[in-house]
Amino acid sequence: MKTPNRCDRQWSEQPRTKWLRLLRSLSFCASLFALSWLPVQAAKPPATIFGNYVGLPGKGKPITTRANKIRISRSQTADANVTVLMSYDKGQICELEGEATWTDGQLVLATDGLDATKPCQLMLRIKGSVLTLTDSEGRCKEVYCGTRGTFNGARFRKKT
């Protein structure tokens, strides 16, 4: 009786491997096809973010304010309407209002900047009941704040 050599084994296993690869490819393609029929929905902000927020001291260096307020309300044309009002010493204020979009778990309020090619993008990150503003490049501060005011790092807590 002849013992199968290495070449014989490869030949007999090769068709089986090809069929398995073909089957895997077909099942992958079928999965993609099935997923393409599902309706695509953009992420919507959670209902818990809407409401009024009041100022908290900033991390590290407190922001000296008398009245910090943010209102996030529902919008018919965007994910949310946002109003930010912050009062600083000697009458300086930061005030910004506009429509925001919900992106990557945060609200992004985009408005005009000093330069048309560099718009203001204020990020509102909400973790639990605490909201933190981020104006990473200071483009919002340039247009919507007085000399002593800043958005970056300001923290708020949701009013109950």
Model pLDDT, residue 38: 42
Q: Which domain holds residue 23?
A: 1-40
13 and 70 within one domain: no
Query: Which DSSP helix (H) or strand (E) runs through 8?
Result: helix 6-36
pLDDT at 155 over 70: yes
36 and 51 within one domain: no
Model pLDDT, residue 116: 85
Q: What number of residues does the chain have? A: 160
21 and 89 within one domain: no
Q: How many domains does the chain have?
A: 2
SS3 content of the chain, % helix, strand, coil (to 5): 25, 40, 30
- Furthest-apart CA atoms within the chain: distance in Å: 102
Model pLDDT, residue 90: 77
SS3 144: helix
CA 36 to mean position of chain CA atoms: 24
114 and 64 within one domain: yes
82 beta partners = 72, 98
pLDDT tens profile 49-101: 999 999 887 554 545 555 789 999 999 999 999 999 998 877 788 999 999 99
122 and 91 within one domain: yes
Please tell me the pTM assigned to this model.
Answer: 0.68
Q: What are the distances in angstroms from CA 85 to CA 80, 125, 138?
A: 16, 17, 17
Count CB-CB contacts under 10 A for residue 79: 20
55 and 87 within one domain: yes
Model pLDDT, residue 23: 59
SS3 95: strand
63 and 123 within one domain: yes
Model pLDDT, residue 25: 65
136 and 57 within one domain: yes
56 and 17 within one domain: no
Phi, then psi, of 9 in degrees rounded to 5: -65, -45
- CATH assignment of the domain containing 149: 2.40.128
Model pLDDT, residue 124: 97
